[in-house]
Amino acid sequence: MDLYFYYIKPDYIDYLKRIEYDKRGFNCVPNMNYWNTNKFTFGAVLEVNSMNYYVPVSSYSKKQQDVILITDKSKNKKTHSNPVLGSLRFAYMIPVPNSCCIKLDFDKIPTEKSRVHIAKELSFCRRNRDKILKQAQKTYDRVLSGKYLELSKHSCDFKLLENACLHYCIENGLHNSTN
Protein backbone atom coordinates (compact mmCIF):
# COMPACT_ATOMS: atom_id res chain seq x y z
CA MET A 1 0.00 0.00 0.00
CA ASP A 2 1.22 3.48 -0.69
CA LEU A 3 1.49 6.33 1.77
CA TYR A 4 -1.94 7.86 1.52
CA PHE A 5 -4.98 8.56 3.71
CA TYR A 6 -7.41 5.72 4.25
CA TYR A 7 -10.67 5.10 6.00
CA ILE A 8 -10.81 1.82 7.89
CA LYS A 9 -14.00 -0.24 7.64
CA PRO A 10 -16.10 0.36 10.77
CA ASP A 11 -16.79 -3.34 11.40
CA TYR A 12 -13.03 -4.00 11.58
CA ILE A 13 -12.53 -1.10 14.03
CA ASP A 14 -15.43 -2.43 16.15
CA TYR A 15 -13.84 -5.90 16.06
CA LEU A 16 -10.48 -4.55 17.30
CA LYS A 17 -12.19 -2.48 20.00
CA ARG A 18 -14.05 -5.57 21.28
CA ILE A 19 -10.89 -7.68 21.33
CA GLU A 20 -8.88 -5.09 23.21
CA TYR A 21 -11.71 -4.32 25.64
CA ASP A 22 -12.25 -8.01 26.41
CA LYS A 23 -8.55 -8.42 27.24
CA ARG A 24 -7.76 -5.12 28.97
CA GLY A 25 -11.11 -3.87 30.28
CA PHE A 26 -10.63 -0.74 28.15
CA ASN A 27 -9.38 -0.06 24.66
CA CYS A 28 -7.12 2.40 22.91
CA VAL A 29 -8.23 1.58 19.39
CA PRO A 30 -9.19 5.02 18.08
CA ASN A 31 -12.77 6.07 17.45
CA MET A 32 -13.05 6.61 13.74
CA ASN A 33 -16.42 8.35 13.64
CA TYR A 34 -17.11 11.70 15.30
CA TRP A 35 -20.13 13.92 14.80
CA ASN A 36 -21.10 12.17 11.56
CA THR A 37 -17.55 12.56 10.23
CA ASN A 38 -15.31 9.62 9.52
CA LYS A 39 -11.70 10.03 10.60
CA PHE A 40 -8.96 8.65 8.44
CA THR A 41 -5.56 7.09 8.93
CA PHE A 42 -2.21 7.48 7.27
CA GLY A 43 -0.68 4.23 6.09
CA ALA A 44 1.16 2.09 5.79
CA VAL A 45 3.61 3.51 8.29
CA LEU A 46 5.02 0.26 9.59
CA GLU A 47 5.16 -3.34 8.52
CA VAL A 48 5.43 -5.92 11.29
CA ASN A 49 5.02 -9.65 10.80
CA SER A 50 3.69 -9.00 7.27
CA MET A 51 1.04 -6.60 8.64
CA ASN A 52 0.64 -2.99 7.64
CA TYR A 53 0.05 -0.50 10.43
CA TYR A 54 -1.96 2.69 10.00
CA VAL A 55 -1.67 5.70 12.26
CA PRO A 56 -4.70 7.89 12.94
CA VAL A 57 -4.69 11.49 11.80
CA SER A 58 -5.98 13.62 14.64
CA SER A 59 -6.78 17.23 15.42
CA TYR A 60 -4.67 16.80 18.59
CA SER A 61 -2.10 19.60 18.66
CA LYS A 62 0.12 19.00 21.72
CA LYS A 63 3.74 18.03 21.09
CA GLN A 64 4.60 14.68 22.70
CA GLN A 65 7.24 12.02 22.20
CA ASP A 66 4.96 9.61 20.30
CA VAL A 67 3.13 12.28 18.31
CA ILE A 68 4.24 14.05 15.15
CA LEU A 69 2.56 17.39 14.63
CA ILE A 70 1.46 17.99 11.05
CA THR A 71 2.33 21.55 10.16
CA ASP A 72 1.66 23.86 7.25
CA LYS A 73 4.69 24.93 5.19
CA SER A 74 3.66 28.59 5.38
CA LYS A 75 4.74 30.46 8.50
CA ASN A 76 2.31 32.41 10.65
CA LYS A 77 3.35 36.07 10.35
CA LYS A 78 2.59 36.84 14.02
CA THR A 79 4.22 33.82 15.68
CA HIS A 80 6.81 33.02 12.99
CA SER A 81 5.96 29.36 13.37
CA ASN A 82 4.28 26.86 11.10
CA PRO A 83 0.57 26.44 11.92
CA VAL A 84 -0.39 23.00 13.25
CA LEU A 85 -2.87 21.25 10.96
CA GLY A 86 -3.22 18.05 12.99
CA SER A 87 -1.11 15.20 14.23
CA LEU A 88 -0.15 11.56 13.84
CA ARG A 89 -0.65 9.65 17.12
CA PHE A 90 1.54 6.56 17.00
CA ALA A 91 0.37 5.06 20.28
CA TYR A 92 -2.97 4.44 18.54
CA MET A 93 -1.72 2.91 15.29
CA ILE A 94 -3.35 -0.38 14.35
CA PRO A 95 -2.64 -3.30 12.04
CA VAL A 96 -5.14 -3.42 9.17
CA PRO A 97 -5.71 -5.93 6.34
CA ASN A 98 -5.68 -4.29 2.90
CA SER A 99 -9.26 -5.34 2.31
CA CYS A 100 -10.38 -3.17 5.25
CA CYS A 101 -8.77 0.00 3.86
CA ILE A 102 -10.69 2.45 1.73
CA LYS A 103 -8.59 5.10 0.03
CA LEU A 104 -9.76 8.63 0.79
CA ASP A 105 -11.40 10.16 -2.27
CA PHE A 106 -10.67 13.90 -2.33
CA ASP A 107 -13.62 14.45 -4.67
CA LYS A 108 -15.97 13.30 -1.91
CA ILE A 109 -14.68 15.73 0.70
CA PRO A 110 -17.63 18.10 1.14
CA THR A 111 -15.94 21.51 1.22
CA GLU A 112 -13.06 23.17 -0.59
CA LYS A 113 -11.64 24.33 2.76
CA SER A 114 -11.54 20.73 4.02
CA ARG A 115 -10.00 19.48 0.76
CA VAL A 116 -7.21 22.07 0.99
CA HIS A 117 -6.60 21.30 4.68
CA ILE A 118 -6.43 17.54 4.10
CA ALA A 119 -4.25 17.98 1.01
CA LYS A 120 -1.79 20.00 3.13
CA GLU A 121 -1.78 17.24 5.76
CA LEU A 122 -1.10 14.58 3.14
CA SER A 123 1.64 16.69 1.56
CA PHE A 124 3.33 17.05 4.97
CA CYS A 125 3.12 13.29 5.54
CA ARG A 126 4.67 12.50 2.19
CA ARG A 127 7.47 15.06 2.67
CA ASN A 128 8.22 13.60 6.10
CA ARG A 129 7.87 9.94 5.18
CA ASP A 130 11.19 8.79 6.66
CA LYS A 131 10.60 10.63 9.93
CA ILE A 132 7.12 9.09 10.17
CA LEU A 133 8.34 5.57 9.44
CA LYS A 134 11.09 5.92 12.08
CA GLN A 135 8.65 7.24 14.66
CA ALA A 136 6.23 4.37 14.00
CA GLN A 137 8.99 1.83 14.59
CA LYS A 138 10.28 3.68 17.65
CA THR A 139 6.83 3.83 19.28
CA TYR A 140 6.17 0.18 18.45
CA ASP A 141 9.49 -0.86 20.01
CA ARG A 142 8.96 1.33 23.09
CA VAL A 143 5.51 -0.12 23.75
CA LEU A 144 6.68 -3.71 23.31
CA SER A 145 9.79 -3.25 25.45
CA GLY A 146 7.69 -2.95 28.61
CA LYS A 147 10.02 -0.25 29.93
CA TYR A 148 7.60 2.60 29.33
CA LEU A 149 4.63 1.69 31.53
CA GLU A 150 2.73 4.95 31.08
CA LEU A 151 3.09 4.73 27.29
CA SER A 152 2.05 1.06 27.25
CA LYS A 153 -0.97 1.84 29.43
CA HIS A 154 -2.13 4.55 27.01
CA SER A 155 -1.32 2.72 23.76
CA CYS A 156 -2.98 0.06 21.73
CA ASP A 157 -1.86 -3.44 22.64
CA PHE A 158 0.04 -4.01 19.41
CA LYS A 159 0.69 -7.75 19.86
CA LEU A 160 -2.92 -8.41 20.83
CA LEU A 161 -4.15 -6.46 17.79
CA GLU A 162 -1.73 -8.28 15.48
CA ASN A 163 -3.21 -11.60 16.63
CA ALA A 164 -6.71 -10.19 16.25
CA CYS A 165 -5.86 -9.04 12.72
CA LEU A 166 -4.65 -12.52 11.80
CA HIS A 167 -7.82 -14.10 13.24
CA TYR A 168 -9.99 -11.58 11.41
CA CYS A 169 -8.28 -12.50 8.13
CA ILE A 170 -8.81 -16.21 8.78
CA GLU A 171 -12.43 -15.77 9.89
CA ASN A 172 -13.20 -13.71 6.80
CA GLY A 173 -11.28 -15.80 4.29
CA LEU A 174 -8.69 -13.12 3.66
CA HIS A 175 -5.73 -15.48 4.03
CA ASN A 176 -3.72 -12.95 6.04
CA SER A 177 -3.81 -10.54 3.11
CA THR A 178 -2.33 -7.61 4.97
CA ASN A 179 0.27 -6.82 2.31
The tens digit of pLDDT for each residue in 115-156 reads 999 999 999 999 999 999 999 999 999 999 989 888 989 999
Residue 151: how many CB atoms within 10 A of its CB?
Answer: 17
pTM of the predicted protein model? 0.88
Cα separation, 133 vs 130, whole angstroms: 5
Per-residue pLDDT reduced to its tens digit, 22-45: 999 999 999 887 766 778 888 778
The residue ranges of every structural domain in the chain are 4-171
Share of the chain above pLDDT 90, in %: 63
Residue 158 exposure: Cα atoms within 13 Å on the Cβ side: 27
Answer CATH for 4-171 from 3.10.180.10, 2.40.10.120, 3.10.129.130, 3.30.365.10: 3.10.129.130
